[in-house]
Amino acid sequence: MNADAIAIVIVAWNQLDKTLDCLASVAALRTPPGRVVLVDNGSAPPLAEAVAGRFPAVEVLRLPQNLGFAGGYNAGLRHVLAGAPAAVLLLNNDTLPAADALDQLIMALEEKRLTQGREEAGAQGADGSREFIGLVTAKIYYAAEPERIWTVGANLNVFLDLKDGGQGQRDTGQWAAPRDVDFAPFCGILVRREVFETVGLLDEAFFLYYEDMDYCRRARLAGWRIRLCPAAHILHAVSASSGGRDSPLERYWMAQSSGRYFRKHGRGPRLLLIVPFRLASALKMTARLLLAGKATALRAYWRGLWLGWRTGRATTPPPAWVAGATGGRR
């Protein structure tokens, strides 16, 4: 698979400076992709003019309003999948991929399963997973602390929540080995075309957050492997589009989307385990926000949590007192 068979889709809502920085890092990739599409998710003012001035080769897909993270990505995916890319690299506009990140991700995507010392040629492995890796994530670092890991992908526990993701750890080589994971964030992930053809697009009932957890769960249930490629590095300004960690807007959408995710995937007897686990998690979050003096974020958190669990969706816009606390909807 050559890089010219790769399409890159970047979703942006406002944040012109971060978007231009992201595009500059994409332009500096050692091997350029076949095409780069920027989805302008209802920014005001529109981003097209500023982008065209510096990056004329970038295609700008302007949406009339903010469709959320899943909706923005889906618009970009429909646009590029009408062509013939072998895979699509999804990037947040607040990420900075390293110069060799795309090369490393492509090599990892082409890795084959080994069975008794030889490459397996069958359609699926003995455990039901497919021969080829479907999704590949990078080792992602905090942009403000490039030596500190944000995520290396993660596995799911019995409660369908994340474990062993390396978050906050200083990188001392402890995550140097490639591994299969259950989850990888969609702020920087390379996805084989066939995954979209078999699993579908992102669930737009998630406006912001958890749409990637949902998609990874669906991909794994369909038999696709998700791989960490630790040789690929990406910097990420975490939660920049929602006002930063523990802002009222970030807490609101995170809580609402968690309700959608756990209601969708925690059906049957598993739900009896998940509900008390989520209640304990909510009480822990309450204590943390109270101790930090973040009363508005706490109120937003419980508002979002109630809506997500009650409606089973995560698309209810925040009230003015939440949106106004960080100056925007997303």
By CB neighbour count within 10 A (0-12 exposed, 13-18 middle, 19+ buried), where does 116 fall? exposed
Q: Alpha carbon of 311 to those of 29, 175, 212: distances in Å? A: 43, 39, 20
Distance CA 43, CA 40 (A): 6
Q: Alpha carbon of 57 to those of 26, 37, 38, 81, 255: distances in Å? A: 12, 9, 11, 18, 38
CATH assignment, 3-238: 3.90.550.60
- In this predicted structure, what is the pLDDT of residue 240? 65
- In this predicted structure, what is the pLDDT of residue 242? 67
- Give CA 316 to chain center in angstroms: 20
| DSSP β-bridge partners for residue 236 | 95, 142
- In this predicted structure, what is the pLDDT of residue 326? 46
Distance CA 238, CA 116 (A): 41
Domain boundaries, the chain: 3-238, 243-326
Residue 114, classed as helix, strand or coil, is: strand
Cis peptide before 230 (omega within 30 of 0): no
- In this predicted structure, what is the pLDDT of residue 132? 76
- In this predicted structure, what is the pLDDT of residue 116? 39
pTM score, whole prediction: 0.91
Whether the CB-CB separation of 312 and 263 falls below 8 Å is answered with yes
Distance CA 291, CA 294 (A): 8
Residue 210: half-sphere exposure toward Cβ, Cα within 13 Å = 27
Q: What is the pLDDT along the chain (330 residues), one digit of tens a residue?
A: 888 899 999 999 999 999 999 999 999 999 999 999 999 999 999 999 999 999 999 999 999 999 999 999 999 999 999 999 999 999 999 999 999 999 999 999 998 654 434 444 333 444 455 557 999 999 999 999 999 999 999 999 888 888 877 999 999 999 999 999 999 999 999 999 999 999 999 999 999 999 999 999 999 999 999 999 999 999 999 876 667 788 999 999 999 999 999 999 998 888 889 999 999 999 999 999 999 999 999 999 999 999 999 999 999 999 999 987 643 333
